[in-house]
Amino acid sequence: MTTLFDPIRLGDLLLPNRIVMAPLTRNRAGAGQTPTPLMVEYYRQRANPATGAGLIITEASQISPMGQGYLDTPGIHTAAQIAGWRAVTDAVHAQGGRIVIQLWHVGRISHVSLLPGGAAPLAPSAIRARAKTFVKDGFVDVSEPRALAADELPGIVEDYRIAARNAIAAGFDGVEVHAANGYLLDQFLRDGSNRRTDAYGGPVENRARLLMEVMRAVTAEIGAVRTGIRLSPVTPANDASDSDPQTLFNHVVEQLSPLGLMYCHVIEGATGAARDFAPFDWEALRRRFEGPWMVNNGYDRALADEVIARGRGDLVAFGKPFISNPDLGRRLREGAPLNPLRQQLLYGGGAEGYTDYPALG
């Protein structure tokens, strides 16, 4: 019987176990949205697969200045950012670990104070989300977005392609395209945020068009074996809504499968919410995807064992438990108690609540 502690092949990577550190926004980037030495230490602490993660997925990292939606999130679009990430990937690899970067464009989930020249956030349609973001002065409502013109979309696809190339230049083992949680690609997928009447709106085939163009560009640039994706079919996060998520995401996963991706990562439910708060046929999605299937949200050892033993998932991504336990892999294996999370230290700040969680002696 397969367990969390059995190896698995993801593309060209052989992971020693199936324990994944989920992408986690921590808002600790330095000037120029550049990864800092403190971030190097945070990832290094979690990188050794014998005690930490078999695979680390970085915090969401914007592909362009317009892709940023929160204070102090890192980017992967400047030379300084690439150099900062190189220090992270070198530290992870020195521990024997593996790491991919999550590529992010927030779309309408942003604020004019974060964007170049005070620009309006970009969206499929000019519909403001009922959502908050975090800026210099604290939590604020997101700004009114402007609808992207069709002739601007090739530029967005190109930004993803260049970000993927930058990721490889920075030493990453691959990328995860963030198509979840109500950000740009998810905004195009869903009819609650996409009211376009061109080839990128209307039927699900059209709403999935931008995502598929991005996935084809990224896989052509760095290889499908180095490209994963994250989806969140039922999340209401960031005002995400769709009239028929099952049909939508069945279609999306059917389209993704033939690309031969490194993995498909799904958030079962909504981050921080009950796992079963919305009915959804997860098996129907899983059946439609040929490659490795990564599950996330509210997993503990028992649930992870069950899902892997039954083949409902191949890997399990742990989020908050990895924040408060740098040696989560070891604790799961030994059944050791977990450090409690200090919730108020999640976003922004320094070492406190970041690199000061103790490992087992």
Respond yes or no: is residue 183 known to be catalytic: yes
297 binds ligand 8OZ (CB under 6 A): no
CB of 60 to ligand 8OZ, least distance (A): 4
Size of the site for ligand 8OZ (CB under 6 A): 7
- Nearer to ligand 8OZ by Cβ, of 70 and 282: the residue is 70
Say how many CA atoms lie within 13 Å of 282 toward its Cβ: 21
Which position among 95, 181, 219, 325 is part of the footprint of ligand 8OZ (CB under 6 A)?
181
Residue ranges in 33-92 that form contacts with ligand 8OZ under rule CB under 6 A: 60, 70
242 vs 253: CA distance, rounded Å: 16
Q: And the tokens for 153? A: 């979309």
- Nearer to ligand 8OZ by Cβ, of 101 and 237: the residue is 237
Residue ranges in 197-216 that form contacts with ligand 8OZ under rule CB under 6 A: none
Q: Of the candidates 139, 109, 113, 114, which has an alpha carbon nearest to the alpha carbon of residue 124?
A: 109
The secondary element (H helix, E strand) that includes residue 253 is helix 245-256
322 binds ligand 8OZ (CB under 6 A): no
CB of 133 to ligand 8OZ, least distance (A): 8
Contacts with 68 (C-beta within 8 Å, 6 or more apart), sequence order: 33, 62, 75, 106, 110, 114, 115
CB of 215 to ligand 8OZ, least distance (A): 18
Give the active site residue among 42, 43, 160, 183. 183
For ligand 8OZ, what does the binding mask look like between residues 254 and 293, x meaning CB under 6 A?
A: -----------------x----------------------
Contacts with 260 (C-beta within 8 Å, 6 or more apart), sequence order: 219, 224, 225, 290, 291
Structure-token match 């979309």, residue found: 153
25 binds ligand 8OZ (CB under 6 A): yes
- Nearer to ligand 8OZ by Cβ, of 25 and 48: the residue is 25
End-to-end CA distance of the chain: 31
